[in-house]
């Protein structure tokens, strides 16, 4: 990661992926560059974000540049992690097992995770299930990103919702494909192990580039888990059902 203006380093560092460490070597696998824009007299320079030589964004808004930077860095880690499989999912812990809620952005994962934390679950992630080759899920402890009615995201620490952070890996006890739909009631149908793998695979970052590895890991995930799919309405109702189901 490099920037053209040291004054933004604090804001950039705050958006680096969880667990980042400085490296002394200038040789890197992937180079992300932020050319800082702004106004100088009558000249207005754009904010530019690059991934290696590819330009990701040019914008007048610093906030937008930082958001794209953060999103890209997280995605890059998910794609390049050698021993972990990243699946788009909300994750909480409950009684020694993990509940996975796979789904794309804007599917309501964070809202449901927040309701689960308020009901006493332990926080693992509202964005990625980070799976090891044994199919256990590890914490991805960035703050929750809760959106308001205007789709503006706010970072919320899990402790402020009554939740605690999970520390170690957990086996997956429940997979719940729960797509939000206003007014819907949560009446899920069971998924077979194979169908559950397909649902998880459709939310897996490297599904296309490493399908064999992904399917082997996901098979281990579902071998110990019960899986369900349905439309959900109010998050608290669904959260209570999920906690009851995992026991």
Partner 1 sequence: MSKRTKDQAARPRKRRDGLVVQELPEETLVYDLERHKAHCLEAASAAVWEA
Closer residue to partner 1 in complex, CB, 21/208: 208
| Residue appearing with tokens 């599917």 | 107
Q: Which residues pair with 170 in a beta bridge?
A: 137
Distance linking the first and last C-alpha atoms of the chain: 44
| 98 vs 116: CA distance, rounded Å | 12
Rounded to 10 degrees, what is the CA torsion of 195, 196, 199, 204?
-130
**Contact status: 193 vs partner 1 (CB under 8 A):** yes
**Contact status: 231 vs partner 1 (CB under 8 A):** no
Least gap, CB of 192 to partner 1 (angstroms): 6
**Contact status: 206 vs partner 1 (CB under 8 A):** no
CB 221 within 8 A of CB 86: no
**Contact status: 195 vs partner 1 (CB under 8 A):** yes
| Residue appearing with tokens 């991805």 | 140
Closer residue to partner 1 in complex, CB, 221/242: 221
Least gap, CB of 30 to partner 1 (angstroms): 23
**Contact status: 224 vs partner 1 (CB under 8 A):** no
| 172 vs 92: CA distance, rounded Å | 10
Closer residue to partner 1 in complex, CB, 73/205: 205
- Helix (H) / strand (E) element for 102: namely strand 97-102
Region from 85-93, 97-105, 150-158, 190-198 binding partner 1, contact rule CB under 8 A: 190-198
Contacts with partner 1: how many residues (CB under 8 A)?
Answer: 15
| Residue appearing with tokens 């949560």 | 186
Least gap, CB of 201 to partner 1 (angstroms): 6
Least gap, CB of 33 to partner 1 (angstroms): 31
CB 178 within 8 A of CB 112: yes
The residues that touch partner 1, with contacts defined as CB under 8 A, are 192-195, 197-198, 201-202, 207-208, 211-212, 215-216, 219
């Amino acid at each position: 990661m490099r920037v053209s203006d040291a004054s933004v380093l604090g804001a950039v560092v705050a958006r680096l992926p969880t667990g980042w460490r400085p490296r002394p070597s200038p040789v890197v696998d992937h180079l992300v560059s932020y050319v800082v824009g702004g106004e100088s007299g009558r000249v207005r320079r754009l904010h530019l974000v690059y991934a290696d030589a590819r330009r990701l964004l040019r914008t007048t808004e610093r906030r937008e540049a930082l958001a794209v930077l953060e999103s890209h860095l997280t995605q890059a880690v998910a794609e390049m992690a050698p021993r972990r499989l990243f699946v788009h999912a909300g994750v909480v812990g409950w009684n020694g097992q993990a509940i996975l809620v796979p789904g794309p952005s804007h599917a309501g994962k964070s809202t449901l995770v927040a309701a689960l934390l308020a009901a006493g679950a332990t926080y693992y992630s509202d964005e990625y299930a980070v799976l090891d080759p044994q199919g256990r899920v590890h914490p991805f402890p960035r703050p929750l990103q809760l959106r308001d009615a205007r789709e503006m995201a706010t970072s919320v620490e899990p402790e402020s919702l009554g939740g605690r952070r999970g520390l170690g890996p957990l086996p997956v006890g429940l997979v719940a494909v729960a797509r939000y739909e206003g007014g819907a009631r949560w009446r899920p149908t069971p998924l077979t192990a194979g169908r559950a793998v397909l649902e998880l695979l459709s939310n897996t970052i490297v599904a296309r580039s490493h399908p064999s590895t992904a399917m082997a890991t996901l098979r281990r995930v579902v071998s110990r888990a019960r899986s369900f799919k349905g439309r959900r309405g109010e998050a608290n109702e669904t959260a209570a059902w999920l906690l009851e189901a995992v026991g």
